[in-house]
Amino acid sequence: AAMSRKGGKQLVDSLTRSSKHFNKTEVECLVSLFDTLVAKATSDFAGVGFNRIVFRDTLHSAFGMTDDVVLDRVFSIFDRDNDGCITVVEWVEGLGVLLRGTLDEKIKYCFQVYDLNSDGYISREEMFQMLKNSLLIQSADEEPDEGIKDLVEIALKKMDHDHDGKLSFTDFEKAVRDENLLLEAFGPCLPDIK
């Protein structure tokens, strides 16, 4: 917001060059939205960016994303330098993948969302956590956790190509390439098409 017109134009030009997914008009709109969000954010990052709360509210209202665990993971992926603040570059680049990413970019993004502890694997526990948050199992006969455990085992059977009981990025990527619907196998972390 506190940017000169010349500085603003240079920023838009630079982001348009670095963004593979947006044209100049779209970048201008995203920067303008960013400025609005920064102005709304009363935080330590005044003028530089906005925090997790503004980010979550925005993704919630824009894309209907409601799962707190997913939103926290998405924030972490956007916040590349891990300083708790989304800068304009992180904003435009993050939305590029979220809204227009190639299959490769989306596979990498979804894997990062599901890899809750960022150790390079999606473990049984992580699958369980993600599925537990995203599914509402309503069955009087069955303990809900049992149904989720069954789903985890089905997912592993289908996706764990090296049979080590967890999904590496290679396992995940191969499974999604074979069957694109598995991209969001452990919960919705991409906006709806609309």
Q: Return the closest-CA partner of residue 111 out of 40, 175, 16, 157.
A: 175
pLDDT in tens, 94-150: 999 999 999 999 999 999 999 999 999 999 999 999 998 877 655 555 677 888 999
Whole-number Å distance between alpha carbons of 101 and 98: 6
187 dihedral zone (left: phi>0; alpha: psi -120 to 50; beta): left
Whole-number Å distance between alpha carbons of 141 and 151: 17
Domains and CATH numbers, the chain: 1-99 (1.10.238.10), 103-182 (1.10.238.10)
Predicted TM-score (pTM) of the model is 0.87
